[in-house]
């Protein structure tokens, strides 16, 4: 095997950015990916019948307010300017998320002004959570923010499905950043830099790895490969982005994760739901949301007018070793276990653990890129 300066284990967004930065610093980088393709959970496929770009592992929308991330990623792709809007179905009606004037006025049958909304929400919150102490769990914190009627309609059962537990078992921190907008702005993300790569997400990963200093091998699981390494002279610095608990064989027990199951369907209609994502907040619907992928590329006239469309129902489910982990479950117990694994990584000076799975944090794409830029730029090989 050719001499390399660094190994990147995992070709998701964090790993691909790390590899690119190192390569541009003149380092020889070997990227190992256990799947047959790069891109991690942002991987897409193009439907041959309609040309629709399908997000294989659920919807991914790029949005950021971080200047260096925006400057970096636009070296490789341009974006179409898509602005993400999410609808919610409750009791047979459709509402715009997030919580703001549009939703509140429709739900309560009111015509509040921006100046009136904060006082109204505060009054509703006081009815459900009297205060006098800090909210002790997710449910109390949510009611303290928005009141019980809105919580019951849009959050309680959706959260129960998403996390597989009663919301009262979740920490208050989970929802403390819930936005309540005193405006009619229905853009889901506040970042003005948003979009989907015009040439598709796969092109981003292909271009990140298109460098003479980068070697790529797919269908190679680094956890199994590391014990059979052909690099005999030295073990190069390795950047690992897999699950931190799997790295140590779950010696302290698996960290709790939530997984997802996706069911795709071809529907013989031009437009199934009129938008990219609709959340289903009621308990009698097993899935949490339906994705309709053609809406991510409104500039693609052929795909938008195709006589059929691709939808995907998303079902959260319990995770066990061997399943794909998606969401870390943040509890006092999981934080204690994570600290044990982090202490183990500190004993390994030639190993850098990062990314969503390695850090046990749910990062948006831009935050993963930012963390990768930070790690790879500061690392001395």
Q: What is the pLDDT of residue 162?
A: 94
Q: What is the pLDDT of residue 268?
A: 98
Residues 16, 39: Cα–Cα separation, whole Å: 8
Residues 124, 144: Cα–Cα separation, whole Å: 9
Furthest-apart CA pair in the chain: how many Å?
72
- Please provide the distance, in angstroms rounded to a whole number, between the alpha carbons at the two ends of the chain: 19
Active site residues: 177, 181, 258, 289, 314, 362, 364
Q: What is the pLDDT of residue 18?
A: 98
Q: What is the pLDDT of residue 133?
A: 82
What is the helix (H) or strand (E) element at residue 341, kind and residue range?
Answer: helix 332-345
Torsion, CA 318, CA 319, CA 320, CA 325, rounded to 10: 170
Cα distances (Å, whole numbers) of residue 103 to 120, 144, 154? 13, 18, 10
Neighbour tally for 219: CB within 10 Å: 10
Residues 270, 303: Cα–Cα separation, whole Å: 9
Q: Which residues contact 49 (CB under 8 A, 6 or more apart)?
A: 266, 306, 308
**What number does CATH give the domain 6-44+55-78+197-254+328-378?**
3.40.50.720
Q: What is the pLDDT of residue 228?
A: 59
Compute and round to an integer the Cα radius of gyration of the chain: 22
**Structural domain boundaries in the chain:** 6-44+55-78+197-254+328-378, 115-180
Residues 295, 167: Cα–Cα separation, whole Å: 32
Prediction pTM value:
0.92
What is the helix (H) or strand (E) element at residue 316, kind and residue range?
Answer: strand 309-318
* Mean pLDDT per 10-residue interval, the chain, length 381 residues: 87 98 96 96 96 96 97 97 95 93 96 94 85 83 90 95 91 70 91 95 98 97 74 71 94 95 98 97 97 97 97 95 89 92 93 95 95 86 52
């Amino acid at each position: 095997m050719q001499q390399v300066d660094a190994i990147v284990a995992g070709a998701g967004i964090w790993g691909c950015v790390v590899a690119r930065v190192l390569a541009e610093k003149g380092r020889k980088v070997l990227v190992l990916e256990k799947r047959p393709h790069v891109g991690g959970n942002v991987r897409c496929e193009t439907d041959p019948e309609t040309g629709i770009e399908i997000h294989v592992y659920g919807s991914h929308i790029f949005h950021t307010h971080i200047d260096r991330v925006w400057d970096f990623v636009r070296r490789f792709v341009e974006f179409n300017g898509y602005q993400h809007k999410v609808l919610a179905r409750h009791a047979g009606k459709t509402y715009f998320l997030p919580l703001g004037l549009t939703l509140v006025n429709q739900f309560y049958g009111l015509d509040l002004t921006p100046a009136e909304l904060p006082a109204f929400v505060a009054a509703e919150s006081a009815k459900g959570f009297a205060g006098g102490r800090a909210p002790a769990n997710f449910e109390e914190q949510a009611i303290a923010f928005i009141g019980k009627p809105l919580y019951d309609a849009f959050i309680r059962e959706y959260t129960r499905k998403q996390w597989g537990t009663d919301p009262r078992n979740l920490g208050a921190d989970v929802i403390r950043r819930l936005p309540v907008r005193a405006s009619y702005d229905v853009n889901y993300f506040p970042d003005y830099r948003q979009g989907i790569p015009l040439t598709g997400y796969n092109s981003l990963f292909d271009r990140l790895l298109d460098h003479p200093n980068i070697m790529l091998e797919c269908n190679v699981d680094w956890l199994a490969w590391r014990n059979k390494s052909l690099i005999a002279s030295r073990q190069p610095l390795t950047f690992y982005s897999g699950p931190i608990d799997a790295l140590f064989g779950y010696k302290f027990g698996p960290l709790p994760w939530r997984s997802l199951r996706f069911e795709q369907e071809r529907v013989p209609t031009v437009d199934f739901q009129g938008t990219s994502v609709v959340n289903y907040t009621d308990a009698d619907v097993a899935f949490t949301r339906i994705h309709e992928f053609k809406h991510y590329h409104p500039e693609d006239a052929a795909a938008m007018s195709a006589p059929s469309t691709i939808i995907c129902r998303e079902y959260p489910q319990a995770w066990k070793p061997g399943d794909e982990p998606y969401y870390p479950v943040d509890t006092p117990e999981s934080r204690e276990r994570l600290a044990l694994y982090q202490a183990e990584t500190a004993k390994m000076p030639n190993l850098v653990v990062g990314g969503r799975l390695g850090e046990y944090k749910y990062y948006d794409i831009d935050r993963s890129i930012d963390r990768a830029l930070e790690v790879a730029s500061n690392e001395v090989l």
